[in-house]
Amino acid sequence: MRKIWLIIMLSMTTACAQLQVWTGQTPKTAPELQWEARYLELQQLNNWAFRGRTIITQGREGWNAGVYWREQTPDFSIRLSGPFAQGGMLLEGREERVTMTLNSGEQLSAETPEALLAEALGWLLPVSALRDWVRGMPYAAMNVDDMQLDNQGRITLLHQAGWEVSYEEYMPFSGQQVPAKVFIKHPDLSVRLLMNRWDSL
């Protein structure tokens, strides 16, 4: 009888050893792990600038301009030049005020860049979100509806608050991979950004 109990106990011990603990979580893929590390690094990328071109389309209207974007968190400036808005404009954000200066010298201001662009140009463009999107990361103040990664942990497609952000190309900068071509779409407006060069500030 004692031998029978020993056999039963050994069988139970072997069965328990073969059980795998299920945590209810799917193991993360390599790109997801790469993205987590990449995201932490991108959050530290606060002082930068890039030069390039942008094409903005709203309805049947379109604008093509050179762009020079400087970011020294929390301040930023976006200069658009070329065949656009009487030759160009400068959008500057400092503290809790945003100012737009046209080449004609006319100045407009508002509390947010979104309010200023809507009032001055009729654009419903989430500039606050763009400040994160152009770095290749989601805007922290919006829920992420969908995000797709490539095999290097870089975002290829992002959906937030009705906006679709498509990252078509990246380039090296400051030990990171940053966007070189970004296409941002909304039912009412689209923006294509082509970055030629990134610089540290």
What digits encode the pLDDT tens for the residues 8-62?
Answer: 444 444 444 444 444 456 788 899 999 999 999 999 999 999 999 999 999 888 8
Q: Which two tokens stand for residue 156?
A: 């290829």
pLDDT of 7 above 60: no
Please report whether residue 141 resides in a domain.
Answer: yes
Please report whether residue 147 resides in a domain.
Answer: yes
Q: Which two tokens stand for residue 88?
A: 């160009």
Give the model confidence (pLDDT) of 53-96 as tens digits: 999 999 888 889 999 999 998 999 999 997 555 578 899 998 78
pTM (two decimals):
0.83
Residue type, position 24, single letter: G
Average pLDDT for 110-133: 91
Helix (H) or strand (E) holding 164: strand 163-173
Q: What integer best gives the mean pLDDT of the chain?
A: 87
Going by C-alpha positions, the residue among 164, 159, 163 that lies closest to residue 144 is 159
Please report whether residue 111 resides in a domain.
Answer: yes
Domain count for the chain: 1
Please report whether residue 1 resides in a domain.
Answer: no
* CA–CA distance, 60 with 57 (Å, rounded to integer): 7
Domain at 150, CATH number: 2.50.20.10
For the stretch 155-158, contacts whose Cβ atoms lie closer than 8 Å and that sit 24 or more positions apart, written own/partner, are 155/35, 158/133
140 — pLDDT class (breaks 50, 70, 90): very high
Interior angle at CA 155, CA 91 and CA 77, nearest 5 = 10
Residues whose CB is less than 8 angstroms from the CB of residue 55 and which lie 6 or more positions away in sequence, other chains included: 62, 63, 64, 191, 192
The pLDDT assigned to 6 comes to 44
Range of the domain at 81: 29-200
pLDDT of 124 above 70: yes
The pLDDT assigned to 185 comes to 96
Average pLDDT for 116-137: 92
pLDDT of 176 above 80: yes
Please report whether residue 117 resides in a domain.
Answer: yes
